[in-house]
Structure 1
């Protein structure tokens, strides 16, 4: 670690503190004492169970002290060490992605790898609505400074909390009785003097009005410098997986480049001549052509090579740069002995910046007389009669920066409610308003119209009089000057041939604004209305109303949503706007330009739900010889949804209605204090989100999708094939059947082991289907799944293989079509004792999830468990995941917390019919971290603690890996497994205190 790094680590560190809370424990929490005020903790997995020993649902309670001991970072990063969170989004990223209307830099929790949309996030027991159009919730919006604990339910809980609780529930719970002042400051830096972070926060709470009122609040800020690809030498060799998994097994190889482009521009085709001069040459030097060096061939791939003049992405973010400011406040007041009012408000501003990769232009059609070409090159083309040539180029930073996006999230949360008692019953009602605004700035996009106009350059003198005057202008400025006023011709012939004026003319900043307002009202009453021979029966009734909205505006619509006006543009490429011919307009009367990197707007749509639930906890047996207690848990919920919207925004809104009914039966059998068993059978659900139902209908054109019936990728006349994408308003909820069986063994007060088996089947699984997909086409043509034939349009029957029957339109939409199922085992062991007369504790958490199957009609069953090459929505992670931790206090005032995190081996593809060499697998990885905390009694009576945290203690970093999905895009694939951390050894220094 350099001296500069040490200086940066300790810069800005000030006195801070954090409240001390109880150690984490397995199972639901029982009664607890918080800051001197007794408060009963209600188990997150239930509205009636108040003693964790009686819960049939596995719940892990993680106190802030236990989370911060090994992870003095964000709560989200601390939670990722729990093996139950598999495939969560956040932290480092091996392949930055996003459609530029959603932030790829969010922290989205994912229980059991079923997808973040199937993990329900609660804040103080209230549902947190989506923060993105894809239905995900960013855990960053949860105020952290005054959190007391996090409850993690690893099991279906829809009967208690409603939609999305298929994988489980994560409940962030505030210390609502906090008194005093706490503050914290932290500085972090890697051993390589990069990826710097800092965190500052202060919180306070006090009683008012002789104890009848209480007020509390906090302010905190966090910053992370991020991490860019070239900063890690082991990954800078742009590792890729090559092969096809069949005739050539997948294998890992470094230094692969894409041979279809070059940094200065590669000429890939010439047209109109008797010969092909300058074919396969490149402008490696501005204005000068040299032969393109292909590099060594790679088996099974014609688009990539080993070495040579090809390109790769050099700048994607391994960790996004983020900044956050958060404010929180709560006031509650005792109106009477049986009625209390509360008001909570929070505001979060989150800014994330992400590099996606170098900008490139493929298949540019350029005139052979372009005046930016040297006279020698123009003469060579003229001698052969060449009219145009096609060139592909990737821009090396400089004046053309990387494709990068700024995400600005503004989150407002307000909750007001009443809590009271009616006889033996407790009741509560509240209203929550939650509004998310995500402003997305795509900082480098091309205005396609301007770009094509600038590319069509001429010598003004030659064009007008036939005599050169060396005044290079856009041809459209002469032929149609009102179409693109101020057009600046662009020179693309070389790595740095563009001027700032040229770049500024064709580039623009796109802005996409997503608004997600939501309203929620709920009422709950609970109590123990009567007793049985075994004890009081707990009952809870719950009624809720939610309303979720979605709106998206865009300054850069999709290419064909507002088609490009081609009038006056004589040289364009099929990649944009279809077959754009001179003097024609794709959509007559529509003169709006189209943009590279566009997003279709989505006028407001909304969904409302009314739901009611009932829950019982019934004691069956008490104080028998083999049953100290047996308790039965029952729950049922009915929900009715009404949605308004239409994927086709040119038409009126549709009204769509659907229902969901869920239930849960659980049994908790305490044989003795040393042994207990638990079992739960539940029916859970996830309602489709607004984007899945009402994604705007948009049409693009492509020649990249092959019709496998006719063998063509364009129509007979050369026209491109339309691709139509939209949501599906007829979606219905996914339904999951969940079984959990568990046992808790406590041979002594110092040691316990919990083992839980789970089996989950999700029917009517919602999946996006694309008609051009090769597997879906094959299932259509061979008759195994004829429903996929509806995803394409063609003139004739599916037996006509002639070119005249080429598909005219591909369709992409969402359907309730698949079945997902998984099984696994979770194990947790805890041991507490003393070492040399001082406290000592060990803890182990492990999950084994051997399969996560996705079964779809007519297709090979996919197994996503342990697979690297999967879409972002199906990232599950390794089959085996484990975390081992130890806590010791070797000296008075000094504590040591150690954590070891292990992930198992991962393989390349979820498709069992595809094979790979061992080099394509990701070997198991182990990461160690340690935190030293010193709390000197002589400093403010032990109210201040100083800590040093070191993560990746042995500097393991991230082993080279990659996914076959990105084999034709070297560099952007990342080169490591999602979840591994390429940062290497990292140091955090901080000070905490509480007064």
Structure 2
């Protein structure tokens, strides 16, 4: 893909442009998603096999990771200098290096650019939000008789995001809820709310008779602690309800997370002789984002206990307790919004330095480089409840010595600093109580990468059908990560996150050889036949040596037809996080088949690393053809079938997968589940394991036609990329294979994706149109009509359009453009997520912004 094509497809960022390609639709960005991961970064994800299986390169060289998972933030690459983006699949590990199981995305820079160019653009959504500002400036100059070439590029980007509930579809409370007896276990509904309230509500009394305890059920608290009846709506389960006074969790997270970032890149190259040159590169980038995840919440899984002598009891509640002395305590649920939501702030800074050379020896090309990169990332969970402090603060009593309200703990430890917390009604807690019960969970991460590589290539000798060429080389790479956390997180004291400190490193040694051997040439039905092959040996300090290889044939029987096939072995070794993470906690929602499919939210799941992991090994087959008929000049069609089978695939069972597989008899999965005395799930554990297999296959088709015009100032180019996924199946030990292909609800795997473009130019005027089609499919392939009422989701199509006018008399050309994405303002389909916080649609797959306008100006001198 050329930079011009990508800019027309989506002028915001390179990552957004690449997301329009069917093979990269699931690429992540700042779009809404549950949890604290991915703060403002964009990670590429080929074939939805996971970003960790896509190798991202800059000019064929690695770029330092921006996360503990080893993934590269493409927002840090110099957008103003990108000439094209090559997406390579099939045998990529042997040719490009380890970790390229799904393939390689290589950003190629225009290192010979001379002059000055730039772009400034601004955008806004139809609803008046999603305000965006972007600017790039790039310059290049040749000095000393063109022996010295200097390049510099800078980019600034800011997006103010889309607040929670700012779209009609995001205010409806779309979610799944346990259905009534006799129907599906889960039903899809709107206005689904979590049981509880912002001011607190009582679910039951404790210690009395059943009748006495029930007297306190469904009492909630308004401003000032006013006691009000709580409405469970038209229908309720243990943790959810439809309508009534519950909490619409759809209103707790931004639809698009705000982001501000900048990137700077510099390059110098000097020709020592006509054959030898040296170069150096330096880049620096930063990004800042702050977004909401949830409130500090106490649900059925972690309720508040209010004792009968609580000093803040409203008078009406105290009177009721006095009339029922056997009731010793009350159970309260509360979603606390005082002090704001529990926000996540992520500040990331990345710098990278490269020094290298290139030249010729005896007609052979040689090049080498050394790279050092470092990412420093600070992740804060702000306004995070400190659980032991809250437990002490909410247990407030009257000090008999002076009549003041204090924490019960203060009576025995007067200097404990506890400030009593009033939970009755929104705004009731004091500033001192909030300061005592809230804190910041902080993670300071440092990721480092050092790479040294040398390559030699050229022609071995002239063969019987043409020159036999080769390339060989070696690479050494060292990856390091170190995460430090605050003392409270290390002690597990916060309600959310509680990351644990860890450090890890490994080094990799690689050597490879490639060759292209022409076999036949200029013969009947063999205009050209050539073999291409590669072998690479990779030695990991953590898991030992692995050999990757590829073998391919390219056959041109006639001038208009080329056939190709590649068979390869690719690998991915476990990344630092998968090996060394010591603990990361988040919440999950689980449907428990052991308990009549009751749906429970707020269950905490802790993820750890696994030092015993072994590398993944993928066997890949690609077979394809390119046809360019002579009777229709300008037309081309290519079709490729791919089949990838990953053995020992590394992955963790999701919360729901673990419970489902335990129910199916998988004892390994049962070991991840902790239950309380009543048999209810109280906690989950997850760690990566080498799953049995992950298999995917499908077909990619590309059609293009450039319509001939007598007037060369006019042009019309038509292009369509079609992707069909036939299978995406995972097999875990002790369980049957699960095929997720065609699943567009809880995953992003439609069978069909299409991107169709029409690019028309008449003189200085350009009109570009793009259609993005996402096929329909199942909500969840593993759940039939008796398990969930939502079975099918309809196909979706989005129309984008761009007008541009080129001013030829301004330097080397300038262009003003106006872009509209999602012209018809299509809403995303109803496809609720399965997390603790309601997400009404699949945010990775569908457009959640609505119609967005952008206007920009590009110049070049």
Give the structure-2-normalised TM-score: 0.92
* Aligned partner of residue 215 in structure 1, secondary structure: strand
**Greater CA drift, 834-843 or 912-921:** 912-921
Match of 2:239 among 294, 303, 308: 303
Which of the numbers 368, 385, 390 marks the counterpart of 2:331?
A: 390
Residue among 968, 975, 985 paired with 2:851: 985
Q: Is the 8 A contact 1:860 1:911 kept in 2?
A: no
Q: Secondary structure at the match of 1:940?
A: coil
Contact 1:861–1:911 (CA<8 Å) still a contact in 2?
no
Answering whether residue 799 of structure 2 is matched by residue 928 of structure 1, we say yes
| 8 Å contact from structure 1 (residues 602, 696) kept in 2 | yes
Tell me whether 1:562 sits opposite 2:562 in the alignment.
Answer: no
- The equivalent residue for 2:217 is 279
Moved more, 279-288 or 193-202: 279-288
Contact persistence 1:238–1:975 (CA under 8 A): no
Could you say which residue in structure 2 is the equivalent of 1:951? 821
Distance in structure 1 (CA, Å) of the matches to 2:135 and 2:530: 46
Quick check: 360-369 or 417-426, which moved more? Answer: 360-369
Change (3 A) 1:829 1:287: same
* Alignment-derived partner of residue 26 in structure 1: none
Counterpart-to-counterpart distance in 2, 1:316 and 1:806 = 28
The 1:249–1:368 alpha-carbon spacing in structure 2 relative to 1, beyond 3 Å, is closer
- Distance of 1:295 and 1:808 partners within structure 2: 27
Structure 2 contact 498–585 (Cα < 8 Å) conserved: no
Aligned to 1:83: 22
From 730, 744, 748, the equivalent of 2:626 is 744
Q: CA deviation at 1:222?
A: 0.4
CA contact (8 A) 1:112 1:876 kept: no
Task: Tell me the distance in 2 between the aligned counterparts of 1:835 and 1:888.
Answer: 11
Say whether the 8 Å CA contact 1:251–1:920 is kept in structure 2: no
Does the CA contact (< 8 Å) of 1:962 and 1:977 recur in 2? no
Residues 557 and 598 of structure 1 are in contact (CA less than 8 Å); yes or no, is this contact kept in structure 2?
no
- Shift in Å at residue 835 of structure 1? 5.4
Structure 1 distance, partners of 2:679, 2:799, is 60
- Report what 2:538 is aligned to: 639
Equivalent of 1:626 in 498, 522, 525: 525
Spell out, residue by residue over 1:214-251, the C-alpha distance to the aligned partner (whole angstroms, 9 max, x if none). 00101110001111221101221111134579950654
CA-to-aligned-CA distance 1:745-802 (integer Å, 9 cap, x gap) = 10133100000011111110112258993334345xx5xx5555765899xxxxxxx9
| Pairwise CA distance, 1:981 | 1.5
User: Relative to 1, partners in 2 of residues 1:240 and 1:209: Cα closer, same or farther, differing over 3 Å?
Assistant: same
In 2, the alpha carbon distance for the partners of 1:702 and 1:972 equals 11
Are the equivalent residues in 1 in contact too, given 2:748–2:845 (CA < 8 A)?
Answer: no
SS at 1:228 equivalent: coil
* Separation of aligned partners in 2, 1:437 and 1:348: 11
1:69 alignment counterpart:
8
TM superposition shift of 1:530 = 0.6
Structure 1 pair 811–393 and aligned structure 2 pair: CA distance change class (3 A): closer
1:728 aligns with 2:610: yes
In structure 2, distance between residues paired with 1:703 and 1:249: 15
SS in 1 for 2:753: strand
Q: CA deviation at 1:499?
A: 3.4
CA deviation profile, 1:145-202 (whole Å, cap 9, x unmatched):
1111111113341111222211111001111001000111101011211100010111
Distance in structure 2 (CA, Å) of the matches to 1:112 and 1:701: 28
Whether the aligned pair in 1 keeps the contact of 2:659 and 2:670 (CA below 8 Å) is no
> Larger RCO: Structure 1 or Structure 2 (Cα < 8 Å, ≥ 6 residues apart)?
1
Q: Which residue of 1 aligns with 2:253?
A: 316
Deviations 1:259-316 (A, max 9, x none): 2x12221111222335223222111343122222111226xx5422211111122130
1:705-752 deviation digits (Å, cap 9, x = unpaired): 98969x99xxxxxxxx99875321111111111100001010133100
In structure 2, the CA distance between the partners of 1:674 and 1:886, relative to structure 1 (3 Å rule), is same
Contact residue 357 and residue 972 of structure 1 kept, 8 A: no
Q: Is the 8 A contact 2:590 2:655 kept in 1?
A: no
Matches of 2:784 and 2:719, distance apart in 1: 39
1:731 touches 1:816 (CA, 8 Å); kept in 2? Answer: yes
Does the Cα contact within 8 Å between 1:771 and 1:777 map onto a contact in 2?
no
Distance in 2 (CA, whole Å) between partners of 1:354 and 1:499 is: 25
After TM superposition, give the deviation of residue 989 of structure 1 in Å.
0.7
Whole-Å Cα distance in 2 between the matches of residues 409 and 210 of structure 1? 40
SS at match of 2:317: helix
Report the equivalent of 1:481. Answer: 414
Structure 1 residue 827, shift from structure 2 partner: 0.5
Conserved? CA contact 1:84–1:154, under 8 Å = no
Q: Is the 8 A contact 1:238 1:312 kept in 2?
A: yes
Residue 503 of structure 1 deviates from its aligned partner by: 2.0
| Aligned residue among 830, 833, 839 for 2:707 | 833
CA offset at residue 361 of structure 1? 2.1
For 1:508 and 1:876, locate their aligned partners in 2 and report how far apart those are by CA, in whole Å: 36
Q: Among residues 469, 482, 490, which one is paired with 1:551 in the alignment?
A: 482
> Alpha carbon RMSD of aligned pairs, Å?
3.0
Aligned residue for 1:79, secondary structure, equals helix
The aligned residue for residue 194 of structure 2 is: 258
Offset at residue 942 of structure 1 (A):
5.8
1:700 Cα deviation (Å)? Answer: 11
Query: Whole-Å Cα distance in 2 between the matches of residues 701 and 284 of structure 1?
Result: 28
Deviations 1:360-384 (A, max 9, x none): 1230011222222223321321221
Q: Is the contact between residue 223 and residue 426 of structure 2 (CA under 8 Å) also seen in structure 1?
A: yes
1:813 corresponds to: 687
CA contact (8 A) 1:356 1:972 kept: no
Provide the residue aligned with 1:758 in structure 2.
642
The counterpart of 2:263, out of the listed 312, 326, 332, is 326
Q: Which residue of 1 aligns with 2:548?
A: 662
Instruction: Report if aligned partners of 1:921, 1:961 keep a CA contact under 8 Å in 2.
Output: no
Question: For 1:8-407, what aligned pairs fall within 5 Å after superposition?
Answer: 62-90=1-29, 92-93=31-32, 96-98=33-35, 100=36, 102-242=37-177, 248=184, 251-259=187-195, 261-274=196-209, 275-276=212-213, 277-297=215-235, 301-313=237-249, 314-362=251-299, 363-385=303-325, 386-395=327-336, 397=337, 399-407=338-346
> What secondary structure is seen at the aligned counterpart in 2 of 1:685?
strand
Structure 1 residues 518 and 677, CA, compared in 2 at 3 Å: closer, same or farther? same
Find the counterpart in structure 1 of residue 752 from structure 2.
Answer: 880
Structure 1 position 768 matched with structure 2 position 652 = yes
How many residue pairs get aligned? The number is 843
Distance 1:703 1:181 in 2: 53
Counting only pairs closer than 5 Å after superposition, residues 506-525 of structure 1 correspond to structure 2 as: 506-525=437-456
Corresponding position of 1:679: 565
Query: 1:228/1:704 Cα in 2 relative to 1: closer, same or farther (>3 Å)?
Result: closer
- Using a 3 Å threshold, how does the CA distance of structure 1 residues 750 and 868 change in structure 2: closer, same or farther? closer
In structure 2, the CA distance between the partners of 1:376 and 1:408, relative to structure 1 (3 Å rule), is: same
Shift of 1:976: 4.6
Conserved 8 A contact 2:717-2:759 = yes
What is the CA–CA distance in structure 2 between the aligned matches of 1:804 and 1:451, rounded to whole Å? 26
Q: 2:732 aligns with which of 848, 856, 875?
A: 856
Alpha-carbon separation, structure 2, partners of 1:353 and 1:600 = 18
1:961 correspondence with 2:831: yes
* In structure 2, distance between residues paired with 1:957 and 1:423: 62
The structure 2 residue matched to 1:866, chosen from 742, 746, 752, is 742
Q: Runs of 4+ in structure 1 displaced over 4 angstroms?
A: 243-247, 697-709, 721-725, 769-772, 785-794, 802-811, 912-920
Decide whether aligned partners of structure 1 residues 64 and 373 sit closer, same or farther in structure 2, where only a CA change above 3 A counts.
same
